[in-house]
Amino acid sequence: MTAIESQGVTLWVDEGASPFTLVGELVSFSGPDGQASVIDVTDLSSTAKEKLMGISDEGQISLELNLDPADSGQDRIRALRDSRAANNYQLYLSDTANTTLSFSAFALQFSIAGGVDEKISLSVTLEISGAVTWA
């Protein structure tokens, strides 16, 4: 079997001068979800649409977390959203090869939600800038 379990996946945020910090309480993630653009190069002598592939856009990574106001990783992402600064992140998968996705991103969204008989959830959206490196 070659399936990879989600349990054990971790997200880390760069603290600058110090090592990366674990972002606690990660419940789920989705992404990177980007795609390349399509460049139309059709001209009047064409008999059908002609296209080139444009530059890849790595898209976004969406995260769902349990809110923990004392978590330094969550605090760092909120501060990065407020400062509008790009930052480095690492998403460690739980496979035996320790696959790591490294990328730079802007924290676009940092929002909480709750309700009757529910936990307070945190939704984060990271907009990737540049390439995602798989190692």
- Domains along the chain with CATH numbers: 10-134 (4.10.410.40)
Q: Are 13 and 21 spatial neighbours (Cβ–Cβ below 8 Å)?
A: yes
* Residue pLDDT, tens place only, 87-123: 999 999 998 888 999 999 999 999 999 999 999 999 9
Give the predicted TM-score (pTM) of the model: 0.89
* Residue pLDDT, tens place only, 19-29: 899 999 999 99
